[in-house]
Structure 1
Amino acid sequence: METNTEPQLPYMPGLAGVPAAESKVCDIDGQKGILFYRGYPIEELAEKSTFEETSYMLLYGQLPTKEQLDGFTHELVHHRRLKYKLIDLMKTLPETGHPMDALAAAVGALGMFYPHINVMDAAQRHGACVRLIAKLPTIVAAFHRMRRGDRDVLPNDKLNHAANFLYMLNEQEPDPFHAKILDTCLVLHAEHSMNASTFSARVTGSSLADSYAVVASAVGTLSGPLHGGANEDVLDMLQEIGTVENVIPWLDKAQAAKRKIPGFGHREYKVKDPRAKILQRLAEQLFARYGSTPLYDIAVKLESVMEERVGSKGIYPNVDFYSGLVYQKLGIPMDLFTPVFAIARVSGWLAHWMEQLENNRIFRPSQVYVGAPPRSYTSIDRR
């Protein structure tokens, strides 16, 4: 029996540093803490853009004209509603299930309601993107209300994307300032290069699966604790610390136990995540208007002490460190934090899906075989 004698490339756990695609969607300079969507700095987009505008730009490469944005926004509003059979399906899901699992199930089911998409047809791709961006907030809000025994709330066509999500959660029009803060959060989370869920989306898309399967696979990847959910862990940590005075004693014990500190460190950034800087400012704006929380003071103290201890190693706050504090102040339940991430990131996933299809080749990486050498089958009575 012959074995493969071709020279093998070195194995890189997690494909660390291995380029998996050429992309025009996003660029990161982790040494300087710079993030661009399609060449636009994240700071400018967070200050001046909206989620609808940013989504269009991610999908099509340029900021839209007013006419293009008005048309795109109209399409999103028109496609917010869910088929009643999908609502009935979601009602059968267990109330104790995690919202991310409900989201993955519902997105997968969407593909059955909108079948036979030709992924190579630009108009059909556009329609699929609009439906997914528009419907994900409705799915998340509907499941949240159903699990509490409440009826789902129909979308409000007069509200923008972020405000409508808050409305569907609570059945009342949100404070415009709250809606603006959430809109900025969605912009910040809309895209971030070749992360795990985006890679899943591109791998699934490379098989020419439809957009619903692509997004369902990305949602499944995001549901893992090493990708999504870190902002929940940050809040749990801050509550565990309890007081500003306990930051140093708690951190001493945590570091002695070699415990991972949630919200710190990033595979890309060796400085403070630029999104964390913006989220911290958003938190401060919220607290200035509506009152602060002791958890924020604990977070600021923890960041200061961590910078003294591990800043030289390039370990600084990432996007998750302050986002949970913002979502908590907006009244969003903790187990919806990662679904809100998905509501934002779907635009980036779809931008990468469409880019993958431009010059597609199915992903088929190699492996390093470390199993048994060639051997013969032994009958069961001789084992």
Structure 2
Amino acid sequence: MSDELQRGLEGVLVAESDLSYIDGEVGELQYRGYPIEDLARNATFEEVLYLLWHGELPDRDALAAFSESLAAEHAVDDAVIETLERLVEADERPMAALRTAVSQLSASDPEPDADPEDFEASLRKGRRITAKIPTILAAFDRLRQGKEPLEPREDLSYAGNFLYMLTGAEPDDVSEETFDMALTLHADHGFNASTFTSIVIGSTMADLYSSVTGGIGALSGPLHGGANQDVMEMLFEIDESDKDPVQWAKDARNDGVRIPGWGHRVYKTKDPRAKILQGKLEDLAAASGGSKWLDYTTEIEAYLTDEGLVEKGIAPNVDFYSGSVYDHLGIPMDLYTPIFAMSRAGGWIAHVVEYQEDNRLIRPLSRYTGPRDQEVTPIDER
């Protein structure tokens, strides 16, 4: 056994997976062998969930049955809404509210005693969790605005239903397609921090509610899930300043400020998901006639590229464009990371079920660096 320390487990292989393949050197991402570009263009989020959970893309009949079963689980118990009301009164953050509400969902699960080794039962739990997260988030946002939550609609897509419950209006085709694509792009990404957290919890044979709740907690940290909000806050700051985007970025770098949405632990070139979202941002800007965020981000990207950051392996990641896309869709900024969780829950569930099929408790070692062989002084002599 090697005594070499790998901080953050960087470069350490801990398991095998059939779910997502990443080549950070060339900027490639695939789900179960399908390039993300192809899935984003030609498959819905429901199809992607089916692919992650069942190992293949569904045919039309399988997709219809799967989408119907997912939509049938959107509603949440009144007790969950009551909890959200109390969290709104306490001025709780959306990500923390989501964590609490998802944990509470287990109380109303119709299969509370299902064996974690019953993988079909686990997928049914996963379907219920995934279906209810949009309802939780939309209800929380409406409650904090003093509005009544809207009942979910089973006749809308997963993406369309969320936008409807959030805004009270059916989304147009461009908005629904864009949001659906964003969900697909965020659904899985290897053994990232939140996925690994979910797997560690799952390796104890805990249930999926525990694993997903843990994943939400890991994703809430600013080093993992919050960069899209940071990018949007940067764009608003630029807009309120008297500087153009390039001058703002120059001054920020001179002051030692890191530009959010740039750099990734895996990608050494532009994130393929960022390329896709940049294209959708162009579509949204053309449809709305408002290109300000697109102009700001592309100008900053061109400047930082000219400065040689991409050559150094520091390039735009998915967060650099996702915040602008969500802003165009009218989504509040502090819901960006919870939306990330809405999508990534599908990946968490797929990884936990996959890992538990050939489970081994995850139990790494640490190197002890403290004192040894100390003697306890009686308390009256200390």
TM-score after normalising by structure 1 = 0.95
Q: Identity over the aligned pairs, expressed in percent?
A: 45
> Contact 1:203–1:362 at 8 Å: present in 2 too?
yes
- Tell me if 1:236 matches 2:244: no
**Deviating 4+ runs (over 6 angstroms):** none
Q: Alpha-carbon deviations, 1:52-101, whole Å to 9, x = none?
A: 00000001111112222111111001111111222222222134211111
- Tell me if 1:300 matches 2:295: no
Residue 52 of structure 1, aligned match among 46, 57, 60: 46
> Contact 1:189–1:345 at 8 Å: present in 2 too?
yes
- Any gaps of 5 or more consecutive residues in structure 2? none
- Tell me if 1:372 matches 2:367: no
- The equivalences for 1:1-383 within 5 A come to 9-95=3-89, 96-114=91-109, 115-242=112-239, 246-309=244-307, 310-383=309-382
> Contact 1:200–1:217 at 8 Å: present in 2 too?
yes
CA distance in 1, matches of 2:343, 2:51: 14
CA distance in 1, matches of 2:120, 2:357: 14
Report the AA paired with residue 27 of structure 1: Y
> Contact 1:8–1:368 at 8 Å: present in 2 too?
no
- The answer for the alignment partner of 1:3 in structure 2 is none
CA distance in 2, matches of 1:249, 1:370: 47
CA distance in 1, matches of 2:292, 2:316: 18
CA distance in 2, matches of 1:299, 1:177: 21
My pick for the range that moved more, 202-211 or 290-299, is: 290-299
TM-score after normalising by structure 2 = 0.96
**RMSD of equivalent CA atoms:** 1.4
Q: Alpha-carbon deviations, 1:295-347, whole Å to 9, x = none?
A: 32111111011112212211110000000000000011101111111111111
Q: Alpha-carbon deviations, 1:224-259, whole Å to 9, x = none?
A: 111111111111112222379633332333223322
Report the AA paired with residue 101 of structure 1: A
Q: CA deviation at 1:113?
A: 1.5
> Contact 1:107–1:216 at 8 Å: present in 2 too?
yes
My pick for the range that moved more, 83-92 or 208-217, is: 83-92
> Contact 2:231–2:319 at 8 Å: present in 1 too?
yes
1:358 to 1:236, Cα distance in 2 relative to 1, 3 A: same
Aligned residues: 377
CA distance in 2, matches of 1:311, 1:88: 48
> Contact 1:234–1:320 at 8 Å: present in 2 too?
yes
Q: Alpha-carbon deviations, 1:150-207, whole Å to 9, x = none?
A: 1110011111100000110112211122111100111001111110000010001011
